[in-house]
């Protein structure tokens, strides 16, 4: 388990056991924007994504005692709650705009312990690979994929030309892909 996973698990335990508002605030500040960005990437509008992200954080406040760090990371647990809340919202939506049989709207299969380990190992490899990127690329990748910003918005936020934003993100992904492919080759050599 990574240091970050341990830290988040400890914060969740403080929320569960002590109703620690500072611990909750730290978790909220870290996870709420990421959950909102995730929901936006799944096709929700800004307002609906914000509402569900708020609901997920309320679940954390009231049900942190249900989180088991032996079964998954806090991130996995919260994003699963977000996905399920999205599914519930779609099922309540009577407009007929979404197909309830869409595979994206079906509940996920239970995560097996070895799959959780694989996810944690992959996450750790990605973090290590990102640590080797130039800071100018790391910041743009974070804005694009963790905050869900479009390339245009990143250009506005940073003051960089749109072409520069796109090329730095493309270069970063090339480096990440090569690093992760190299890791995969090393793993298969054993």
Question: CATH 1.10.10.10 occupies which residues in the chain?
Answer: 112-190
Phi, psi of 47 (to 5 degrees): -65, -45
- The yes-or-no verdict on residue 47 having pLDDT over 60 is yes
C-alpha dihedral sign at 125, 6, 81, 36? negative
In CATH, the number for domain 1-110 is 1.10.1740.10
Residue 2 CB contacts under 8 Å (≥ 6 apart), including other chains:
120, 123, 124, 127
Listed range (45-54, 107-116, 171-180) with the worst mean pLDDT? 107-116
| Mean pLDDT, rounded, for 65-90 | 89
Classify residue 70 by its DSSP letter: T
Question: CATH 1.10.1740.10 occupies which residues in the chain?
Answer: 1-110
CATH architecture of 112-190: Orthogonal Bundle (1.10)
Q: What is the pLDDT of residues 125-176, one digit of tens each?
A: 878 888 888 888 888 888 887 777 888 888 888 899 989 999 998 898 888 8
In 32-57, which positions are buried (b, 16+ CB within 10 angstroms) versus exposed (e)? bebbbbbbbeeebeeebbbbbbebbb
For a pLDDT cut of 90, what percent of the chain falls above it?
35
For a pLDDT cut of 70, what percent of the chain falls above it?
81
Query: What is the C-alpha to C-alpha distance for residues 52 and 175, in angstroms, rounded to an integer?
Result: 34
| Mean pLDDT, rounded, for 30-36 | 94
Helix (H, G, I), strand (E, B) or coil at 141: helix
Q: What is the pLDDT of residues 5-26, one digit of tens each?
A: 899 999 999 999 999 999 999 9
Q: How high is the pLDDT of residue 35?
A: 93
Phi, psi of 70 (to 5 degrees): -75, -20
Give burial (CB, 10 Å; 0-12/13-18/19+) of 22: exposed
- The yes-or-no verdict on residue 55 having pLDDT over 60 is yes
- CA proximity to 17, closest of 65, 57, 62, 49: 65
């Amino acid at each position: 388990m990574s240091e970050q996973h341990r830290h988040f698990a400890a914060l969740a335990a403080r929320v569960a056991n002590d109703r620690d508002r500072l611990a909750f605030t730290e978790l909220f500040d870290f996870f709420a924007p990421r959950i909102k960005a995730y929901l936006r990437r799944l096709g929700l509008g800004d307002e609906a994504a914000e509402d569900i992200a708020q609901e997920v954080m309320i679940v954390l406040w009231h049900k942190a005692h249900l989180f088991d760090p032996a079964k998954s990371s806090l991130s996995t647990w919260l994003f699963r709650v977000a996905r399920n809340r999205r599914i519930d919202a779609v099922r309540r939506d009577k407009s007929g705009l979404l197909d309830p049989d869409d595979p994206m709207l079906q509940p996920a299969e239970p995560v097996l312990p070895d799959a959780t380990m694989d996810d944690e190992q992959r996450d750790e490899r990605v973090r290590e690979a990102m640590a080797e990127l130039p800071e100018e690329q790391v910041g743009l990748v974070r804005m694009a994929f963790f905050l869900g910003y479009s390339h245009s918005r990143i250009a506005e936020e940073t003051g960089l030309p749109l072409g520069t934003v796109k090329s730095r993100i493309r270069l970063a992904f090339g480096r990440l892909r090569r690093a992760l492919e190299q890791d995969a080759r090393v793993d298969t050599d054993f």
